[in-house]
Amino acid sequence: MAVKILRQKPLSLAEKVYLPQVVAGMRITLKHMFARAQTLQYPEQRPEIPPGYRGVPTLVKDPNGREKCVSCQLCEFVCPPKAIRITPGSVPEGSGRDHVEKAPKAFDIDMLRCIYCGLCQEVCPEEAIFLQNQFSMSGYSRSEMVNDKGRLYEAGGTLPDRHFKWDKKRAAEEAHSPHA
Amino acid sequence: MSLFFQLPVVIQMALKGLAVICVIFPIAGACSMAERKVCAWIQDRPGPNRAIPPWFAWMPIVGPALQKLGAFQLIADGLKFLFKENQVPGHVNRFYFVAAPFLAMIPALSTVTVVPFGAYIDPSGHTVPLILANLDVGILAVFAVASLGIYSMILAGWSSNSKYSFLGGVRASAQLISYELSLTLAVIPVFLWINAPGREGTLGLGRAVEFQSQPGFWGGSWFIFIMPVSALVFLIALFAETNRLPFDTIESEADLVGGFHTEYGAFKWGLFFVAEYLNMIIGSAVFVLLFFGGWNPLPWVPLSAVAGWFGLAGHPVVLGFVSVCIFLAKVLFMIFFFMWVRWTVPRFRYDQVMRIGWRILLPLAIANLLVYAIGIALIQH
Amino acid sequence: MIAPIKPDLVTVNVDGREIAVPKGTNMIEAARLAGVDVPHFCYHPKLTVSGNCRMCLVETGVPAVDPATKAPVIDPGTGRQKINWSPRPAIACATNASPGLHIRTTTPLVKDCREGVMEFLLVNHPLDCPICDQAGECKLQEQATGYGRGTSRYIEEKNVKPKRTQLGSRVTLDDERCILCSRCIRFCREIAHDDVLGFVDRGSHSTLTCYPGRSLENNYSLNTVDICPVGALTSTDFRFKMRVWFLKQTDSIDTESSAGVNTVVWSREGVIHRITPRRNDEVNDTWMADSGRIAYKAVRSEGRLTAARVAGRDGSTGEALAAAAELFREGGVAVVGSGRSSVEEQFLTRRLAESLKARAWLVSRVGQSDKLLVSADRNPNVRGALVTGLVGELPQKTLGELSAAIDSGAVRTVVSVGEDLLCAGISLVQLGRVKVVYLGTHRDATSEAARIVLPALTVFEKAGSFVNQQFRIQKFAAAVPGPAGVQDDLETLSALIRAAGGPDLPSAVGPLWAVMAPQVPALGAVQHGTIPATGLLLDSSPWAGLPFVEGESLHHKPAR
């Protein structure tokens, strides 16, 4: 390993006396006294959320308003702090989405555990879970900090979907149906 | 006015003292808010700008302006100190623990009595300083009483029964002893100069201002120009004596949590806080009196000249008010200077504080004294 | 020079490693013995070879011999016998080991073959892993990862097939996922002898279906789900319940009959989600009956006893034990053991009867044998009671003698270890006449009538061992914790022994075996820890003359 010896520069007289340094410092601080404040007045002013920001995880619906999650539980599996808890269930017949077969019966994310790592979003094969812009969450009880399915969809809203995987599947099924 | 002078002297003195306290105490409080605002501005922040009582919020421009200045934050903080749980930790020596903050206030407020804060011109044409007690010992009384403030810190540190407090108290005693020497030696040339042969000897501070108000180039120049080294040593020692950064090793939160007041909270802590600012105000006042021409508005422009221009010589109350304003403006600038330095210069290490005190400042003060003593002796003989 | 070591072993060469394998072993098994994985879908060790998936293609070669002289041809380059490699790959499942056979599984040809097979299998596969229950234990997933190309070139429309066909009440079929390996068809034909499944249509339209008018209803139908390499056949009970990668696997034993089927209990956080068979070539191969797979539902079913009861009121276990001690002091006690208790519990039951100087009884349960894995004796551990000396003869269906003793007043207290006395020929009137101390898992007529009820654990919540119809002692482990407040049955039994004035016996399986094994001749030097996972055959000669009810079944032939 190369060793690099850095020699300290000897102090000049002005530096040794120190007072000129103090004066120089005071000149700088005086300049700053009249500079514009950089503060963001937080609750009124909100920071601009950059794209790709990892806020509170949410569940999203496709543009047709259908839930995208199929409760594959990959997010539950990958979640490092085990914040996600899913109870899988089947899609009821006649709901217009029964060809997807599977949907979460319950979907809880414990925000006291969540570390906002975004692995759930990365692993989701259905692009159903997104860490969106909400960055502050608070509550008066532990149970309040557990986002259930309803709250997750409320926070998630609808995101554009480029794939429409299940709509295509339905279309193919109908095209091949002998009774169609 | 005449009604006032008909009152017994004791009551007159008490009313005067109350008036001074009523001015100086709010200033000390306001300083704490000013400190926060100055700090914020220097750091490119707005500082406290949220607190506002509803009835001020209804005022159109003044309310928001005061809010932005943090004026109400001061009241809010004060009320908080008053209403906070006044708890005493279980492991302290209760009597001294409670006594210490009050002991801090006594010297801080006592020294005010011997510090003149303005002047008026009496019908005989003499400039009479405004002062609560015009003692001959003046500066000596200030030094003597102010030094008692150290006991509060030592007591607080010791009675807290905590190692951080204790170290803070020990540092306080060592630091104050070290810098007291330089502080005192620095003012000796001033008093050597003003106690010229043939005059009545005095250590009163009024005489120092009087000396800076004389006609002529030398007579009208402030002592900071005549004795810059004295002024510098005095100023630095003043920083150390008032425990201001860069010399606040006593409460140095990086290594001592809070120093001597670690275990204090609520109103008792607030008393220490106010005492510190009172000490700053007194220190600044003495510095202004000795080196900054006191109530003289400008170098070579004495108060009497101002009185002459505006015809105020016959209006002692108005002139007194003007002089107090000039004096307060200078003191407040000094306090701003204290803050300015605080938010610019980092804290010295404790050993550096000791080295500066004993190996730099004290020799410098002694050399300065010798040079001026010889010089003054040569000039005045 | 390759020479057979033993007459019934042949030496083959897998990827340059020579290994001796029994004659007739196919090359997948031979490679497995050599530690080489040959991927496959349709091959199953317990089914016939059909060779239709083509995933196990390997390169084969035989040592070259001079056609004229039959002398080995030596490769001048290496100085060893030359290998004639076949220019075409062969399927390893249908290639049996022959002397000197060489196979290569790592060559570019083999790699290309596997990639090609995988690509074609995935052409019409729906890739709905997110909703597929097989995900995580899917051969197609594993081998697409291990041997596939990684990317798809297929841009055409995929086939559409029926997605949710109920083949039977317990099996759901997704034809799109089916890779036509025919394992399920072969299982139904060869093992279950219920030939209802088959393919219809041709080519990529081939579809698995049931014979018209029939459905997959035999008691072994869920084995087709187990052996399905993809998610085409899924269990209706387990469908969409839980991902398999969350499940903890615990080795257990099926208690529905004396066949002693080895099982795996899959649980997550104290909740059992399914039971599957565990391979044991001496007992159940890789199969188990559907009826045994729903046994876990009893764990969280209604009527579970979770607290001790004394005279109809809930009480603490301590109170119940104190009350039992009082009853025991009055004398006239009979003990009814159970063929469903573990060997350890039966030993403690025996010691309890001895401490009480009481006679121990056992109740038999006999059903119809299906000649496969559900034997006629529906008690899993009657032989355990014989081995531990709890009883000396085979149990009867009804406890005639005990009921007579109750009528005569000789028996005033009955201790029942999990047996519903009403089913054992004791009438309600008789139950009212005696004081019953009942150890049970669920509420039943006996628990309602009992003076003292002590809650017990199900087989999934405790550890122990059973002796099956072959006199094979097999151990099971606790998969999930028992309900709060229910102590282990061994603890309850040893506390009862103390209450009866008996010795202080250990209540953990390991220490108990140290006490039990010396007192049980058939166990000898066996310790619970030394029983292998596939069980240990005990010496059954002392009981050779007893008329056991079991008939012939898989891997069991009665001595008679």
Structure confidence at residue B29 (pLDDT): 80
Structural domain that includes position B322: 89-380
Q: Would you say residue C421 lies in a domain?
A: yes
**Would the CB atoms of A77 and C243 count as touching at under 8 Å?**
yes
Residue B61 within any structural domain of the chain: no
Q: Is the pLDDT of residue B369 over 80?
A: yes
List the single residue in B with minimal CA-CA distance to A32: B42
Digit-coded pLDDT (tens) for A74-94? 999 999 999 999 999 998 888
C130: nearest CB among A70, A89, A177: A70
Whether residues C93 and C148 share a domain: the answer is: no
Residue C354 lies in domain: 308-543
Classify residue A9: in a domain, yes or no: no
Flag if B344 and A33 touch (Cβ within 8 Å). Answer: no
Number of domains in chain C: 3
The pLDDT assigned to B2 comes to 62
Q: How confident is the model at residue A151 (pLDDT cuts 50, 70, 90)?
A: very high
Mean pLDDT along residues C91-105: 92
Quick one: closest CA in C to A75, which residue? Answer: C130
- Residue C1's pLDDT is what? 43
Of A90, A169, A177, the CB nearest to C240: A90
Written as one letter, the residue type at A55 is: G
Check whether residue C481 and residue C348 sit in a common domain: yes
**Strand ranges for C269-368 from DSSP E:** 271-277, 308-310, 313-315, 333-336, 360-361
Q: Is residue A103 part of a domain?
A: yes
- pLDDT value, residue B67: 82
Domains of chain B: total: 1
Q: pLDDT tens across C228-241, in order?
A: 999 999 999 999 99
Instruction: Identify the CATH number of the domain in which residue C135 sits.
Output: 3.30.70.20
Which token pair is C162?
A: 């029926």
Contact residues on chain B for A28, CB-CB shorter than 8 A: 344
Residue C476 has a pLDDT of 95
Q: What share of chain B is helix, strand, coil (3-state, %, to 5)?
A: 70, 5, 25
Touching pair C, B by Cβ (3+ pairs < 8 Å): no
**Between chain A and chain C, how many beta carbons pairs sit less than 8 Å apart?**
45
Inside any domain, residue C253: no
Cβ under 8 Å to A: C residues 164-193: 164
**Tokens of residue B348, six digits:** 């010295």
- Start-to-end C-alpha separation, chain C: 50
Residue B271: pLDDT over 70: yes
Residue B260 and residue B167 in contact, taking contact as beta carbons nearer than 8 Å: no
Residues of A in contact with B232 (CB under 8 A): 19
User: Cβ contact (<8 Å) for C131 and A176?
Assistant: no
| Chain A touched by C156 (CB under 8 Å) | no
What is the distance between the alpha carbons of residues C550 and B19, in angstroms, rounded to a whole number?
113
Task: Determine contact: B87 vs chain A, CB below 8 A.
Answer: no
Chain A contact present for B42, CB below 8 A = yes
* Separation between Cα atoms, residue C131 and residue C134, nearest integer Å: 9
What's the token pair of residue C349? 């039951």
Decide if A22 touches B, using CB distance below 8 A. Answer: yes
On whether residue A5 sits in a domain, the answer given is no
Q: How confident is the model at residue C6 (pLDDT cuts 50, 70, 90)?
A: low
| Chain B residues with beta carbon closer than 8 angstroms to that of A36 | 44
Q: What length is written for chain B?
A: 381
* Domain assignment of residue C277, yes or no: no
Using CA coordinates, name the residue in chain B closest to A43: B50
Task: Give a yes or no: residue A95 inside a domain.
Answer: yes
Statement to judge: residues C474 and C391 lie in one domain: yes
Q: What is the three-class DSSP state of C421? A: helix
Choose the weakest-confidence range: A82-86, A139-143, A163-167, C367-371: A163-167
Mean pLDDT of the region C449-457: 94
Does residue A61 lie in a domain region?
A: yes
Instruction: Summarize pLDDT for C46-78 with one digit per residue, the tens.
Output: 999 999 999 999 999 999 988 888 888 888 888
- Mean pLDDT in residue range B40-58: 85
The CATH number of whichever domain residue A161 belongs to comes to: 3.30.70.3270
- Candidates C277, C369, C389, C386; CA nearest to C556 is C369
Residue B46 in contact with partner chain A when CB distance is under 8 A: yes
Check residue A180 and give its pLDDT. Answer: 41
- Taking the C-alpha atoms of residue C443 and residue C515, their distance in angstroms, rounded to an integer, is 33
Tell me if C555 is assigned to some domain.
Answer: no
Mean pLDDT of C412-439: 91
User: How many beta-carbon pairs under 8 angstroms link A with B?
Assistant: 37
Residue B127: inside a domain: yes
Please say if the pLDDT value at position B278 is more than 90.
no
Q: What is the mean pLDDT of chain C?
A: 91
Answer yes or no: are the C-beta atoms of B262 and B164 closer than 8 Å.
Answer: yes
Chain C residues inside the 8 Å CB shell of A74: 130
Tell me if C160 and A74 make a contact (CB, 8 A cut-off).
no
C30, amino acid identity? A
Q: What is the mean pLDDT of residues B57-61?
A: 81
What tens digit of pLDDT does each residue of C440-451 get? 999 999 999 999
* pLDDT confidence of residue A85: 94
Q: Is the pLDDT confidence value at B263 over 50?
A: yes
Residue A36 lies inside a defined structural domain of this protein: no
Touch between chain C and chain A: 3 or more Cβ pairs under 8 Å:
yes
% of chain C exceeding 70 in pLDDT? 99
Asked whether residue C137 falls in the same domain as residue C236, the answer is: yes
Q: Which helix (H) or strand (E) holds B217?
A: helix B217-220
Output the pTM of the full model.
0.77
Q: Test A22 with B341 for CB contact under 8 angstroms.
A: yes
Token output for C489: 């049955």
Beta bridge partners of C336: C361, C416
Are A and B touching by the rule of 3+ CB pairs within 8 Å?
A: yes
pLDDT class of A177 with cuts at 50, 70, 90: low
For residues C234 and C88, state if they share a domain.
no
Residue B181 predicted with pLDDT over 50 = yes
Q: Given this model, what pLDDT does residue C277 score?
A: 96
Query: Across residues B261-284, what is the average pLDDT?
Result: 85
Is B103 within 8 Å of B121 (Cβ atoms)?
Answer: no
Which of C40, C72, C106 corresponds to the end of one domain? C106
Classify C72 as helix, strand or coil.
strand
Residue B284: which residues within 8 A CB-CB, separation 6 or more?
B238, B330, B331, B334, B335, B338
Say whether pLDDT at A114 is over 60. Answer: yes
ipTM (interface predicted TM): 0.81
In the predicted model, what is the mean pLDDT of residues C190-198? Answer: 93
Same domain, C87 and C164: no
- C165-166 and C171-173 strand pairing: antiparallel
One-character DSSP codes across B96-137: HHHHHHHHHHHHHHHGGGG---EEEE-TTS-EEEE-S---SS
Q: What SS3 class is residue C164?
A: coil
pLDDT, residue B152, reads: 87
| C433 in any annotated domain | yes
Say yes or no: C483 and C381 in one domain: yes
Q: How many domains does chain A have?
A: 1
The reply to whether B360 falls in a domain is: yes
* Interface contact C131-A100, CB threshold 8 A: yes
Q: Are residues C60 and C28 in the same domain?
A: yes
* Residues C180 and C317 occupy one common structural domain: no
DSSP per residue over chain A, as a string?
----PPPPPPPPHHHHH-HHHHHHHHHHHHHHHTSPP----TTTS-PPPPTT---SEEE-B-TTS-B------HHHHH-TT--EEEEEEEPPTTSS-GGG-EEEEEEEEETTT-----HHHHH-TTS-EEE-S------SSTGGGEE-HHHHHHHH-B---S--HHHHHHHHHHHH-TT-
**Token pair for residue B3?**
């009604």
Q: Is the separation of the CB atoms in C434 and C406 below 8 Å?
A: yes
Determine, yes or no, domain membership for B17.
Answer: no
Using CA atoms, how far apart are residues B46 and B39, in angstroms rounded to an integer? 9
Asked if residue C148 and residue C102 are part of one domain, the reply reads: no
Range of the domain at A79: 57-168
Domain check: are C97 and C134 in the same one? no
Instruction: Classify residue B15: in a domain, yes or no.
Output: no
pLDDT digits (tens, 9 = 90+) for B85-114: 888 888 888 888 888 888 888 888 888 888
